[in-house]
A = this chain, B = another copy of it.
């Protein structure tokens, strides 16, 4: 039986037949459990006492070759604990292999009534029928849960998009094709979400529908309320929508007819297929 600190997983991960012992009080050890470079598995490295004592003065002390990555540790500041990054033994590539797809974010942006939710539904249906795992994050629905503490002040709107950006990043990392359907009127906020994702994994779909069309549809009756002054700061009425400058996909009317949901969805699916997201 080998005695190693409980947080060294390397032996376990590379050899299931090894029976690991777990001492009650692992004494400080000169052993170095940093990543075994001959192995593709991740090893969690013990932090030695002298490293711990250095933490109090370090702002950044990352070691990406180990399982623990320490940064922003400052005991004089308020962010003094729990600031360690844990790598895990199953990576994004493993999940993608399992799912036979690549995790990414389809970010649908546009005015209220422009058809974002309609496209999201048709897209999740179309991809699901092809055996792909998708998840729709609807801006409205997130307001009921994760972002239920946020109102509609400018700073809350920024935070609303920031959190959605963080969640779609997690889903993408999980290997899921995550479909976000959010007005997200400000270019800066959308671009901040894009910047969190690996290159290419943020696919912006702009629902480029004329305001008059969206307002005529008014599926939630909100334009009517906004025009009556009962809602303030409504996008397209008294708050701006900043159209994307370089979105990956633009959905527009053809002549004066909006494309049917399945046509819009197929446009996105074709893009995902061409870019290799529908295979591992």
Q: How far is the CB of A95 from the nearest CB of chain B, in Å?
A: 6
Is A52 a contact partner of B221 (Cβ separation < 8 A)?
A: yes
Asked if A124 meets B90 with Cβ closer than 8 Å, knowing A6-B258, A24-B256, A231-B80, the reply is: yes
- The reply to whether the CB of A240 lies closer than 8 angstroms to some CB of chain B is no
- The reply to whether the CB of A109 lies closer than 8 angstroms to some CB of chain B is no
- The reply to whether the CB of A170 lies closer than 8 angstroms to some CB of chain B is yes
Residues of B close to A146: CB separation below 8 A: 163, 166-167, 170
Is B125 a contact partner of A90 (Cβ separation < 8 A)?
A: yes
- The reply to whether the CB of A211 lies closer than 8 angstroms to some CB of chain B is no
Q: How far is the CB of A42 from the nearest CB of chain B, in Å?
A: 8
Q: Taking each of A56, A88, A174, A230, which has the highest tally of chain B beta carbons within 10 Å of its own beta carbon?
A: A88
- The reply to whether the CB of A141 lies closer than 8 angstroms to some CB of chain B is yes
Residues of B close to A13: CB separation below 8 A: 121, 125
Q: How far is the CB of A188 from the nearest CB of chain B, in Å?
A: 17
> How many residues of A sit at the interface, in one of the four size bands?
35 or more
> Which of A198-206, A242-250, A259-267, A268-276 participates in binding chain B?
A259-267
- The reply to whether the CB of A49 lies closer than 8 angstroms to some CB of chain B is yes
Q: How far is the CB of A209 from the nearest CB of chain B, in Å?
A: 9
Residues of B close to A216: CB separation below 8 A: 24-26
Count identical subunits in the complex.
Answer: 2
List A residues 75-115 near B (Cβ within 8 Å).
75, 78-86, 88-90, 94-95, 98-99, 112, 115
- The listed residue (B55, B82, B125) touching A89 by CB distance below 8 A is B125
Is A133 a contact partner of B219 (Cβ separation < 8 A)?
A: no
Query: Which residue from chain B places its CB closest to the CB of A147 in the assembled complex?
Result: B166
A218 CA / B81 CA spacing, docked (Å): 12
Is A170 a contact partner of B137 (Cβ separation < 8 A)?
A: yes
A216 CA / B29 CA spacing, docked (Å): 13
Asked if A171 meets B174 with Cβ closer than 8 Å, knowing A49-B221, A260-B22, the reply is: yes
Q: How far is the CB of A21 from the nearest CB of chain B, in Å?
A: 7
